[in-house]
Structure 1
Amino acid sequence: MSGTTPPAQARAQGPQPDGLSLPALRALAAAAVIIPLLFFGFGAWQSYRQHLREAEATVGRATDVLAEHALRVFELQELLISRVDDRVHGMSWDDIAASEELHRWLLQLDQNLPIVDVIWLIDSRGQGRNSSRYFPAPDTSRVGDRDYFQALKDRPSGTYIGEPRPGRSTPGLFFNVARRRTAEAGFDGLIVTSLDPAYFAGALKSLSFSPEDSFSIIRDDGTALARGPQPLSKPTRLTAESGLMQAIRRGANTPYRQVAQLDGVERLYANKKLPGYPVYVSYGRSLQAVLAGWYKDLLLYAGLALAVAGSLSGITFLAIRQTRQQLATQARLRESEARLHALFQEAPVGLLLTRVNPDGSMAFEEMNPALVGITGLSREQVIGRSPRDAFPGAMGATIEKHYRECLTSRQPVEYEVEGEGPAGPYIRHAVVRPILDEAGRVTKLLGTSMDVTQAREMEEQLRRAQKMEALAALVSGVAHDFNNLLTIMMGNLDLARRAKEDRKPRLIENAIQAIDQARRLTGQLLAFGRRQTLKPEVIEIPSLMAATHDMLAQSLRGDIAIELDLAEDLWSVQADGSQLQVALINLAANARDAMPKGGSFHVSAQNLVLRDGGLTEAVAISVSDTGAGIPREVLARVFEPFFTTKEVGKGSGLGLAQVYGFAQQSGGSVDIRSEPGRGTTVTLYLPRAARPADNPLPSAREQQQDSVQRKLRVLLVEDNPPVAEVGRMLLTEAEHDVRVCGSVAEALAVLESQGFDLVCSDLVMPGGQNGLDLARTMRERWPHVPVLLMSGYSDAAGAAVEEGFLLLTKPYEPQAFLAKVDEAVSGKLPSDTVIQLIQPRR
């Protein structure tokens, strides 16, 4: 208390007097009476105002809830009438009266809406023709005398809310919501929904805080539509002198006190008009119930006043003790503030205190010296500003975003932010925490940040080291396998150069087999890197599995049973069929090695709808074995190229890498699950094809029979002279005329002056234009000349296939090359046709 003497001053002043003078005692006696009375009066007045304010707030909220509920009810009737209007659009009244199906439809609507008593279709004569309750409609259902019929018959006044009237065939009061039936011209009857006022009394009973509270729904002419918690028992209309009607006339929008006309109870009322309807809702809080709480407070204040007056003898002691406690509290507060100040100012971490304004805006209140030194921004540049204004560029936007997230979620938010300060670039790991007041509102945000620049640099160095380690493993694996294959090639070819004629075919065949293994190895590497040129087609899984069954059996052993479980009505998939077969064979080979004592190899397929950022339809092909399984520490690395747990010479480590690359490049995914001792399951998820599978392609024999057997003029575009020489010799051996060009520019110059039956071009070419550019130019300027593109690897290979150009993958066998040449020209030209050169457009 401000009037007491601090202990230090009291000690300095010496001992206090033992007694008080007579004037002091008289003053104390008067204070013992006056102060409690003043306290009692002030407290009683404040309590009275507080109870009234709380009651006004309660009445306002209850009125809003009542208005919202009533509005939803009337809007629901509008929607219901519109649905009925749409349903009977174009039907004559005789059709409506005769339609039992319409009656059942109305009945279903009625049963789904407890608030609706009955739905009627009334013709222009006021005769009910169909309803949700009766079929056929009785002749007694005439409403020509009802207020809503008279009001809507004369003019199209929108939706009309009728006054409550007793039902003709059912007890109780009902009021109707009616609207004209849509007609091209004139009055063509009504659509009416009948509502039970008792519904509101039951549904909104929970709004009443005491038995004497009440709520009403009233038309603007004073007609009561519903009342609660006691339901409306008879038609009632308020007089113009009633408090509610007077409040409506004067446009009162604040609570007011009034004695109710209906039951004579004094209440605190609030009114609200329903937007779009001539209807008001009113909620009344019993004044007696409001004052009951105030009476309790009066008793409490009276008891307190008596206690204060009776405890005058202890006032001095209590005052001194309270003063001492206040001084001690102030000392502790100052000490706490000093500790907080030291912590905030001397903390090595960055600290930032932010004020949250009532409108949701934010402004920094405090910034510690550590953060000033880190950012290079002065306190004047930050204090009083929002994050976006205080910090430059993307940093401010990042801080603003995460502060907003913390403010919305009311939970700590962690993030990282990058910037540049006096010491150079930095990365800070920041945490912003909400500070809530007693009401649970976020009033401040405390941001802390620590420097993680070195940690992130070390992590980046570790990632680079891991990447280099993986690359080293990949390079060493490729070098090892290719050195082995090159040894086979060089050894056999060297032996063939010196061998007798009868041994040469065998040695050459050995070299060719090594070359074929090298070709498969590069294909697997491209598949893992998702750079392989796939030929997607629409595949029927059952047909592919039937064609692959024998190959799977050859990849397994006789003691391994093959089990197929393909769901019915499997979707077609979009993928490269041959690569899918290779993936299945690789999985079969792995399963075989995992089951040295035999077992079962199970293949299943089913349709799935995946949810990963959206809905994706896919077919899941699961391949399971009953082998030894894979340990957890190994499972995470099985898709790495050249990673294998098999003995040297028994596996390249590229089988699962091919499966992974094929799935990714096909737009799908793959996962693997394994349990040591129980087996492994690999699941391929391939996207569903957008169209059914095409008819089967003709066989190779049929294609060969349809091929064009004649001498061709071929333009071969290849920048590698040895490769060009091989192609030229193969074409010459097939009795074709060949012209070789080393660049796209040279080829275009030759095409300007000479005609050709076929252009064969490598994809990767020097000079700024590649083979795909040449093919596009050919399609535009010489569309009748077929083009065959060739590539060992190129980013443009996929684009070439998508644009419909024929593609041959290197390395290729001579027979495959000649077959592609034949495929390029077959079916395009009759054997006796000569293509005339089309002059380029100028």
Structure 2
Amino acid sequence: MNSTEQGRVTAPTAPPSSAPALESARPSGMRWTQLLRSSRPLRRLLAGGILAVLAVAGATALIVVQAHDSTLQRVKSELETLDLLLAETTSRSFQTVDLILASIVDQLAAEGVTTSAEYERSRSGYNTYEMLKAKATGVPQLDAITMIAADGRLINFSRYFPIPPVNVADRDYYGVLKNDPGGRSYLSTPVQNRGNGEWTVYLAHRVSGPSGEFVGLVLGAISLDYFQNLYESLQISQGSAISLWRRDGTLLARYPTLPLIGEKLPIKTFTEILRQSDSGVYETPAAIDGPARIVATRLLRDYPVVVNVTRTKGQALDDWHHQAWITIAAGILCELALIAFLWGLARQFGAYEAFTTALAERNQAIEARREAEARLNQSQKMETLGQLTGGIAHDFNNLLQAIGSALYLIEQKVPKDGARNVLATSVRLATEAVERGSALTQHLLAFSRRQHLEPRPVDVNALIAGMSGLLGRTLGGTVAVSTALQDDLWPALVDPTQLEMALLNLSVNARDAMPGGGSLCIATANLHAPAAGPKSPADAPPATGVPAPPGDLPPGDYVGVSVRDSGTGMDEEVAARAFEPFFTTKEIGRGTGLGLSMVHGLSVQSGGGVRLDSRPGLGTTVTIYLPRAEAPSSAPRKSDNADDVTAGTPDVQVLLVDDDVLVRQAVTALLLQAGLRVTEASDTAQALAVLASDAPIDLIISDIAMPGMNGFQLAASARARRPTLPVLLMSGYAEPLLNGAAPLVPGACVLSKPFKPEQLLAEIRALLP
């Protein structure tokens, strides 16, 4: 907004026409004021007339409103009653089919059909076809009955024999009931017959063996035309409609007919109502056919099906409109006499009131504009602050990278003659300042960070052994730490850094649960999750005591890591919520409630699971189940020393790409000191020109956030030209890119700025063959 606009807002003036209007109104107003002051009867007459007008108007409005509410209530009651009857009729239609299917399943169980092979062999004959045909006869809504084998093939069909070679393994009911041993029945999404265009839904029953194994399905095809014809036969009033829905918003049937059968529509209103109750009445301003409607909705008791009975609001209020016009006309006639008597006075007072109202509205508009401008300025300020934060983080991290690299190079030249060396002390202090600056940028941008796992085969026993010193210092002398590690432990597929953090979180939680001291044991074991889950949740290998995997884990081999303490334990209510984010029983300042949720997230994201066993007074055991890695565990780096990292890498040519000259020069100095040869490029265009030439390049080191083509795109282009070329990407603030905007090419890695020289050289050594 410019200064001229602000001047108009902060210094308003009355419109030119306002003063003449006030002057013209003033003489009549003053005369009537004098009359009212001098004439007591006039004052009484005026007061009585106003009260009479208000009374007539109020009575008229009250009658109209009551008639409106009464009409709506009557219509809603009628719709709700009809909806209840239709819901019961529809439910009985589904129940009839349900009972037929259940009888077939019960008959199979009674005859001892326990396997899919027996099911297919015993039910593929003509006699079964006749039985199915007989059961479907006389049930108008039941279009067909089908028997389906465990692999999805049709066994028998009530419509004709022999059956065609059809497989329904791709249908929704097959996928749901096959993987749900406890599932009884399932109502499918509607399917349209390609031949005659009729719509059908399928009510499917699962056939299970004695131990819950999947034997097959019995399927009832329910014709939606049955419900369409049923609703049409009711001869509902004009403007009314009856519709049948799946609970997810898929339209199954409707009268009057609409070409929307089988479509999943964004119907939010009745789904919201049905979350609170099985039925309800509501008004919608725009129904699926356009006009506003009053809707009575009801969910069937045993099926995910909703019956709606509706009437357009205009049709529902048609009688009320006639009554309202008659009532209003009578009220108007009564008021006209009073208004005529008070007309002269009312006109003058009306003019003055209009002027006063207009002035007040103008002042309100001015104030509203000021508030809107203030909100806009605040919004723009916050948006700008967010943009500046990202930009500052990127530039600040680049500056920290250049400073840190320079300090490292200076440190290499400082004589190692003890702590009193002033230059060495200064370099150390400056390096600590760089690290604190890096932590500051991370705190500023914490809201946009995401956990990036780097799973690889890990020797969990070695990892736990390497943490012994850290655990001892963290837990203190009052907690006795012991281990029970299986000797031939499989390698686990997990991010080792995140696993260390998870074990540290669990150990700290255990320490807090033992304020007076106690014992903590970390155990490992090779475990197997069978297809049907463990026979007993309490089963555990006797050597380590690691609990068996829970039944919901996918079948396979797992490495179990348990942390067991002798603390206070948890009751059932607390244990049930232990993995909820931000749930904690600690006092304020002692915990965030994220420790166990982070452990749960790591285990699940790694492809495993987690289990908690706890009782009050008996301690707590938390077990992480990690998938077994096929490859052997990777050995940790022996040293982060620059000499060790770059040993054996002579004549390595590095292409360094960064648009920040300070970072480029600092990293070049590091690489040159490490004995590497460097070719610099200030942008991706120069880098691609180098790659297009015959120049020998052994490694690309590139920044991510650069003008034009970013680092991810450069890596993809480079790998297209040279498929085996290693790529190391540097990130000053590239989280928006890392969060899905550009995938990381295989064989590349990302190093966040500011990084230590040792980290850079270690990553180079890891990437080079």
Same fold, judged at TM 0.5 (above): no
Aligning the two structures, in what range does the TM-score lie when normalised by the shorter sequence? 0.3 to 0.5
TM-score (norm 1): 0.39
TM-score (norm 2): 0.42
